[in-house]
Structure 1
Amino acid sequence: MTTISIDNVSRWFGNVVAVNDVTMTIGPGVTGLLGPNGAGKSTLINMMAGFLPPSTGTVTLDTTPVWRNEQAYRHIGIVPEREAMYDFLTGAEFVLANAELHGLPDPGAAARKALATVEMEYAQGRRIETYSKGMRQRVKMASALVHEPSVLLLDEPFNGMDPRQRLQLMDLLRRMGAEGRTVLFSSHILEEVEQLARHIEVIVAGRHAASGDYRRIRRLMTNRPHRYLVRSSDDRALASALIAHGSTSGLELDAAESALRIQAVDFAGFTELLPRVAREHGIRLYEVSPSDESLESVFSYLVTA
C-alpha cells in the first residue's frame, strides 16, 4: 500500500503562483483531482511525479521525498497531458523502450502484457505518428503500466478518447484501485469524476478547495445558490409571486435582456415552485436557463462556501 503525501506545498514560476500551500494525502484506490482548466492540477501532478521541485513544502512517497529520488520511479507510472512521445517509433517499440529503461528482466514480455492491458495489440506495429489522440493516450498508458507500478498518476487521461475507449480505461482504473494501487487522475469534467472516483480532491486557482467523499462534495455543489435567466409573458407578475418564497434569495428585472434574473437557494424547492406559480397566475414561461453553470462558478462557490 503506497501513499503520496503533499505537505504545505507551493510552486511558483516567477511572479505566478501555480500551487498555493496545498496539503493532501493520496492513498490506495481511485482518487479524482478535480478543478477547472488552469487550476494547477498539472503542476501538482508534476511535483508528485518528481518532475518539478516544490518551491516550498514537501512531496513524499511513503515518507521518502520524491524530488531527486530515482528509486521513486520503480513505484510510479505517469501519463502526462502533454504529448512527449517519439512519433517515429511504433507503439510496441515505444513501450519496449520504457520496459528496457526500467531494467525489467523480460522487457519484451512486459511490453506485450502492457499493450494487451490497454487493448492496443492491433496497432502495436504502426508508427505513433499515425495514431489518433485516443490511441496515443492508450499507448502512453501502456508505457506507464509496463513496470506494474503501485502508484499511477494520470493527467486528463480521457482527452481524445471515444466512448468505448473511455469505458475500457475506466474499467481498468477501477480494477487497479480495487487491487490496492494508488490511482490519481485529474479532470475538469464532473461526470468523469462521478463515474470513477469515490474520493476527490478539488483544486481552484492553485488552492485546495475541498477533499473527501465525492457524494458529500457533490451535494455542496448542488446546494449552492443557483442563478437563472427566466423569460415569461409577465416578468413583473412572476417576480411578485416568487419573491416571498423561501427558495429564492434574489430577483432582478433585466430590462436589457427583457428577462428576470433569479437566485435560488433551494434547488428542489425552486424547480417545483416556478411552474406551479406560473400556472396559478396564468403566466407563460418562454425560457428558463441557468446562468452560472460553468465549472468555474461551481468551484468558486466551494472556495467561498
Structure 2
Amino acid sequence: MTSIQIQDVSRWYGNVVAINGVTMNIGPGVTGLLGPNGAGKSTLIHMMGGFLEPSSGTLTLEGTPIWRNPSVYENIGLVPERESAYDFLTGEQFIVSMAKLHKLGDPRAAARRAIAMVEMDYAAARPIGTYSKGMKQRIKMASALVHDPAVLLLDEPFNGMDPRQRIQLMDLIRRMAAEGRTILFSSHILEEVERLATHIEVIVSGRHAASGDFREIRRLMTDRPYQVTVRSTDDRTLASAIIADGSASSVELTDGKLQVEATDFHRFTWLLPQLAKNAGVRLWEISPSDESLESVFSYLVGK
C-alpha cells in the first residue's frame, strides 16, 4: 500500500499563487481531485509527480521526498492533460521508448502488456499523429502503466473520449484500484467523479475546499442556496406569492424577471407551479442562474 503525503504545499509564479497551503493524503483506491478549470489541479498533480518544485511545503511518497528524487519515478505513473507523445512515432514505438527510459528488462514485452491493458493493440503500429483525441489519451495511459507503478496520477484522463472509451478506462481504473494501487484523477465534471471515486478532494482557486466521502460533499453542494431566474405573466403577483409562502429566502424583481434565492431547490421547483396557479399567473421560464461548478465550489469554500 503506497500513499502520497502533501503538507502545507504552495506554488506561486511571481505574484500569481497557483496552490495555496494545501494539505492532504492520497492513499490506496480511487481519489477524485475535483475543481473548476484553472483551480490548480494540474499544478498540484505535477508537484505530486515530481515534475514541479513546490514553492513551500513538502510532498512525500511513503515518507520519501518526491522533488529531485528520481527513484520515486519507479512507483509513479503520470498521465498529463496536455499531449506528451511524438506524432511521428507509432503507439508501440512510444511505449517501448518509455519502457527503455525505465530500464525495464524486456521493453517490448512490457510495452505489449501496457498497450493491451488500454485495448490499443489494433492501433499500436499506426503513427500517433493519426490517432483521435481519445486514442491519444489511452496511449498516454499505456505509457504511465508500462513500468507497473503503485501510484497513478491522471490529469483529466477522460478528455476527448467517446462513451465507449470512457467506460473502458473507468473499468480499467477500478480493476487497478482493486489491486491496491493508489489512483488520483482530476476532473471538473461531477458525474465522472461520482461514478468512479471513493474519496474526493476539492480544489478551488488553489485552496483545499473539501475532503472526504463523495456523497457527503455532494450533499453539501445540493444544500447550497440556488439562484433561480423566473419569468411569468405577472412577476409582481408571483413574487408576493413566493414571499408569502416562505419557499425562498429572497426575491428580487429586475429587468422584467424574478431573481429568486431558494434554499431548497427541489421543494421550490415543486411548489412554484402550485403558487403560480393559485395566484392566476402563467409561468414562462424557470432556470437556474448559478449552476456552474465555480459557484458550487465557491459555496463550499465559504462554508
- Per the TM superposition, whether the score is higher than 0.5 is yes
Asked whether the 8 Å contact 1:28–1:182 carries over to 2, the reply is yes
Aligned to 2:288: 290
**Cα separation, 2, equivalents of 1:78 and 1:54:** 17
Deviation sequence 1:114-138 (CA, Å, 0-9, x none): 1011010010001111111111110
**Offset from partner CA, 1:11-34 (integer Å, 9 cap, x none):** 001111000000000000000000
Shifted more, 79-88 versus 197-206: the winner is 79-88
Structure 2 residue 13 is matched with structure 1 residue 16: no
After superposition, where does 1:169-248 map in structure 2 within 5 Å?
169-248=169-248
Separation of aligned partners in 1, 2:138 and 2:107: 19
User: How far did 1:274 drift?
Assistant: 0.6
Give the letter aligned to residue 21 of structure 1: G
SS in 2 for 1:139: helix
Structure 1 window deviating more from structure 2 (88-97 vs 272-281): it is: 272-281
Higher mean displacement: 206-215 or 80-89:
80-89
Corresponding residue for 1:52? 52
1:140 maps to 140
Unaligned 5+ residue runs, structure 2?
A: none
- Secondary structure of 1:47's counterpart equals helix
Deviations 1:90-137, CA, capped at 9 Å, x for gaps: 000000111111111221111101101101001000111111111111
Counterpart-to-counterpart distance in 2, 1:195 and 1:295 = 17
- Residue identity matched to 1:228: V
The alpha-carbon deviation at position 245 of structure 1 amounts to 3.2
After TM superposition, give the deviation of residue 295 of structure 1 in Å: 0.8
Does the residue aligned with 2:249 lie in a helix, a strand or coil?
A: strand
Query: Which of residues 274, 277, 284 in structure 1 aligns to 2:275?
Result: 277
Aligned to 2:264: 266
Q: Count matched residues.
A: 303
Residues 38-77 of structure 1: matches in 2 within 5 Å?
38-77=38-77
Aligned-pair CA distance for 1:167: 0.6
Letter in 1 for 2:76: I
Shift of 1:275: 1.3
Unaligned runs of at least 5 residues, structure 1: none
Q: CA deviation at 1:273?
A: 1.4
Matched residues, percent identical? 71
Deviation string, structure 1 residues 196-242 (Cα, Å, up to 9, x no partner): 11211000000000000000000111110001100111111111111
TM, length-normalised to structure 1: 0.98
| TM-score normalised over the length of structure 2 | 0.98
